[in-house]
Structure 1
Amino acid sequence: MNTMNNVLSDQALEWVIHAVHPEANVLSIRRLHGGISSLVHGILLKVNGEERSVVLRQFDNAEWVREQPDLALHEAESLRRASQCVGVQTPKLIAFDETGSACGVPALLMTRLEGSVVLEPPDTVRWVDGMAEALARIHKVEAADYSRTFAPYCDAASLDTSSWSEYPAQWRAAADIVTGPRPFVINRFIHRDYHPANVLWKGGEVSGVVDWVNGCVGPAGIDVGHCRVNLAQLYDVQTADQFLSSYQKYAGDSFVYDPYWDLVTLIDFAYWPPEVYKGWTDLGKIGLTTEIVAECLDQYLLSILKRIS
């Protein structure tokens, strides 16, 4: 067995084996990086002479579990719903431990998708276009009877960027817009955390979308905006705008763009002083600094306000 198993307990491993096949043999265990809110391991098993790759997610963040004790159940429900997506691979649910009674902490076991995260694409246009097409396909999944609903992460009314931004007045104007009336939308099934680190690639094509713990019903603009603000930080406003144009191409008349949702998702990132997302650096992204991220957020804000004016 791979000796890198410095986090996975015997209790959790026994649960995994029982869920997959009682006579499965563990060939290797590897910590997977990219997320910062939970422990994720890739486990390679041998079952009846065939190898099977699975992923175990353990919700070990005590504060997050206290706030949302049904995290494992939530992701299980989202994975079941996401499996209806045509043309985009998503992990298949194998088992989940809602309370942690079997694993020690709440946990979820799923199939492992082929591919890897790409943050330095050789062809940025194709990369952005592929992510946009995959998201448009996700938003076609039936949403009417899904009970999980969107809610903002932060209270825009208390936003204060004066400690880091060169444009605190403009941020205040953005917050005033967000605390005003919400535009009418037809809700969709949304990923809620759609960004490049949750999209897998193989052979230059999107091979899957992962990390469904936040899946819910809400405005498609939330997914679009969340990806756009990530792209603005990773690259620039032009790349974020390119993603919007590509998404509009694939979504067609089912999507009506409103910059309001861009502001909602942007404020989630500006509510606290900016920082370089550890998931990006874990996946090999270099060159970003806190100062660069802050400047990118400011420039992205100004671009959205310009759309509104």
Structure 2
Amino acid sequence: MDVSAAGCDDRGWEDTRAWVEQQTGGGCRVEAAERLRGGWTSQMRRLRIGGCGEPRWLVLRSFVRPFFARHAEGLLTREADVLRLLGGTDVPVAEFRAVDATAAHCDHPSLLMSLLPGSVRVDEEEAAPRTPLLARQLVGIHRVRVPAEARPREYEAWAAPDRVRLPDRTGRPELWQRAVDVIRRDPPAYRPCLLHRDFHPGNVLFTGRGSGLRITGVVDWVETSWGPADLDVAHCSTALALLHGVPAGMRLADEYLAAGGTLSEAPADHLYWRVLDALAFAPDAEKVGMPWRELGRDDLTPALLASRLEDCLQELFRRYG
């Protein structure tokens, strides 16, 4: 296996490689592996499979960090189920190949799937035309009909009033307190639908430019849930605000409605979901800063992300509060 040329350390996944070759069958072997950048919960590898006809490419997700490895059985089983569910829909997802959610055969809990075309784009070039495509894709996900027995778990909130980490230095402490007070109420009533739950530009693949720009894949379905469409819109909106500035984040909900999506009619209810998501990034959104910088966004310093997050809260109150 040409590991050094592929830029991927071969140590610690000998059993995983053997498992992959067993799943592909027919004398196939892993000829090369390349570590994919931009994630922080798992290691992603692009694998070239050869020795059995024309070379082909697969993607391997492995949970290595202890926290995520402990929860891998639920996460990877959920993703495998979702890939099977969405395989017959218009949502562009990878084809499920195999899963070893408990590391019974692999070095680490792992999921094997097909390689989708396209690439992640988090740069400023053509950021504006990507927004309506993201909105339309979210509408498509939320419209997927899921039989009751196949529905994923109910959504989990990623922030709570007593767990929000407030910034040490801020000129607007009252803004943060107001935001925390918003999520002290009971969650608003909602009409549930299928949620990606971690839908943002880092989990969407694009090809083309200009009039040929299009989405070719949506990845990372380990957090898939059953809940309010507002929450998916909120998560992508926060990410866009952090990546491209608050106006970009505020446009997504408008584009989502224009594409035929439905959000909470009461502004206070929509505000709840938006603030609930934004507070999960407090105090400085560094949990997304590091993977985005790996993708070339060196401008996204902790200070800039913290400022944009605070400005996002301010604008949410101006518009919906």
Q: What number of residue pairs does the alignment pair up? A: 306
Change (3 A) 1:302 1:84: farther
Counterpart of 2:206 in structure 1 is 201
Change (3 A) 1:84 1:225: farther
Once the two structures are superposed, the pairs formed by residues 216-231 of structure 1 within 5 Å of their partners are 216-231=225-240
Identity %: 29
Per the TM alignment, residue 147 of structure 1 is displaced from its structure 2 partner at its CA by: 3.5
Residue 31 in 1 paired to residue 40 in 2? no
Counterparts of 1:164 and 1:22 in 2: how far apart (Å)?
60
Counterpart of 2:153 in structure 1 is 148
> TM-score of the superposition, structure 2-length normalised?
0.89
Change (3 A) 1:103 1:199: same
Per the TM alignment, residue 32 of structure 1 is displaced from its structure 2 partner at its CA by: 0.6
Per the TM alignment, residue 95 of structure 1 is displaced from its structure 2 partner at its CA by: 0.5
Find the residue that maps to 1:50 and give its secondary structure.
coil
Per the TM alignment, residue 51 of structure 1 is displaced from its structure 2 partner at its CA by: 2.2
Structure 2 counterpart of 1:2, which letter?
Answer: D
Find the residue that maps to 1:297 and give its secondary structure.
helix
Per the TM alignment, residue 118 of structure 1 is displaced from its structure 2 partner at its CA by: 0.9
Counterpart of 1:57 in structure 2 is 61
- Equivalent position to 1:15, from 16, 19, 26: 19
Structure 1 counterpart of 2:301, which letter?
Answer: T
Asked if 2 retains the 8 angstrom alpha-carbon contact of 1:143 and 1:187, the reply is no
Asked if 2 retains the 8 angstrom alpha-carbon contact of 1:174 and 1:263, the reply is yes
Residue 170 in 1 paired to residue 175 in 2? yes
Per the TM alignment, residue 14 of structure 1 is displaced from its structure 2 partner at its CA by: 0.8
Cα deviations by residue, 1:169-218 (Å, 9 ceiling, x for unpaired)? 22221221112022211111111111111110111211111111111111
Counterparts of 1:121 and 1:233 in 2: how far apart (Å)?
12
Once the two structures are superposed, the pairs formed by residues 62-211 of structure 1 within 5 Å of their partners are 62-67=66-71, 69-86=73-90, 88-143=91-146, 145=148, 146-203=151-208, 204-211=213-220
Counterparts of 1:37 and 1:164 in 2: how far apart (Å)?
28
Residue segments in structure 2 that go unaligned for 5+ positions in a row: none
Asked if 2 retains the 8 angstrom alpha-carbon contact of 1:150 and 1:216, the reply is yes
Change (3 A) 1:160 1:97: closer
Counterparts of 2:2 and 2:153 in 1: how far apart (Å)?
38
Per the TM alignment, residue 15 of structure 1 is displaced from its structure 2 partner at its CA by: 0.5
Per the TM alignment, residue 54 of structure 1 is displaced from its structure 2 partner at its CA by: 0.6
Counterpart of 1:45 in structure 2 is 49
Runs of 4+ off more than 3 Å: 254-257
Counterparts of 2:33 and 2:139 in 1: how far apart (Å)?
34
Counterparts of 2:233 and 2:67 in 1: how far apart (Å)?
28
- Equivalent position to 1:260, from 251, 264, 272: 272
Change (3 A) 1:112 1:290: same
Change (3 A) 1:47 1:243: farther
Counterparts of 1:172 and 1:278 in 2: how far apart (Å)?
27
Find the residue that maps to 1:96 and give its secondary structure.
strand
Change (3 A) 1:27 1:80: same
Cα deviations by residue, 1:233-252 (Å, 9 ceiling, x for unpaired)? 11111101121211111134
Please provide the CA RMSD for this pair. Answer: 1.8
Counterparts of 2:200 and 2:281 in 1: how far apart (Å)?
13
Find the residue that maps to 1:156 and give its secondary structure.
coil
Cα deviations by residue, 1:236-280 (Å, 9 ceiling, x for unpaired)? 11101121211111134x33361211111101001x444262110
- Equivalent position to 1:236, from 233, 245, 267: 245
> TM-score of the superposition, structure 1-length normalised?
0.93
Structure 2 counterpart of 1:44, which letter?
Answer: R
Q: Which moved more, 1:232-241 or 1:139-148?
A: 139-148
Asked if 1 retains the 8 angstrom alpha-carbon contact of 2:195 and 2:227, the reply is yes
Change (3 A) 1:29 1:150: same
